[in-house]
Amino acid sequence: MSARRLLPYIWTWPLDVLLWLLWILPFWAFWGTNLRWEEGSLAFTFKEDSWPMRTWYKKWGGTSIGHALMYAPKVKPNADGTPHRITVHEQFHVKQYESITLGAFIWAWVPFTFLAANGLWTSAFVCGILMWLSATLQHGVGNWTTAWIRGERAYRDSYHEQSAYAVDFKYTATGKRDT
């Protein structure tokens, strides 16, 4: 992994730190194992017999929000050392997150500048930071809603999710990773 791959932390770090402290580290401490850096993201795997794997997470393979990833125990590298399909899928979501967060970071300067120019510094900071850190949510609202309006499944058929499936399907079919 090149150092350039870590440059997006310049505009994603506040949300990442929050996700690590509120989600990854406590979940790993309660139910997880193998806390690690996976291509620049903090990741852990649920223990086989942990409560989430016996209940609400048993049908899931992996989840990512920001540079924070959690996996079911079945997600292990392939015998030849190449990553599991679900790892490729989640790492593609990391790329999406880095892109949409940079967009939100840039746009957040518009209300910030306008409000600050009018002396409304508190509003400027609150509005700017909220706009910046809600990038995933803002993106998701349009993305899930349009899938729902088309009469499809809001999450699974959103283009955000379909692109990740397309990438991991191609990887499974060719064994070549080009993400």
Where residue 39 falls (left for φ over 0; alpha for ψ -120 to 50; beta otherwise) is left
Q: Which is nearer to Zn ion, 113 or 153 (CB)?
A: 153
Where residue 75 falls (left for φ over 0; alpha for ψ -120 to 50; beta otherwise) is beta
Which residue stretch of 2-10, 14-22, 74-82, 159-167 sits at the interface with Zn ion (rule: CB under 5 A)?
159-167
Q: How far is the CB of 8 from Zn ion (least distance, A)?
A: 19
Q: Which is nearer to Zn ion, 98 or 161 (CB)?
A: 161
Q: How far is the CB of 165 from Zn ion (least distance, A)?
A: 7
* E strands present in 15-173: 32-38, 41-46, 62-65, 68-71
d(CA 85, CA 160): 17
Which residue stretch of 13-21, 34-42, 107-115, 157-165 sits at the interface with Zn ion (rule: CB under 5 A)?
157-165
- Residue from 164, 167, 168, 171 in contact with Zn ion (CB under 5 A): 164
Residues in the chain: 179
Q: How far is the CB of 155 from Zn ion (least distance, A)?
A: 8
Q: How far is the CB of 88 from Zn ion (least distance, A)?
A: 11
167 binds Zn ion (CB under 5 A): no
Position closest to Zn ion via CB: 164
Q: Which is nearer to Zn ion, 11 or 85 (CB)?
A: 85
> Interaction with Zn ion in 89-118: which residues (CB under 5 A)?
none
Query: CA angle at residue 102 from 111 to 35, to 5 degrees?
Result: 130
Count interface residues toward Zn ion (CB under 5 A). 2
d(CA 28, CA 15): 18
Residue ranges that bind Zn ion, judged by CB under 5 A: 161, 164
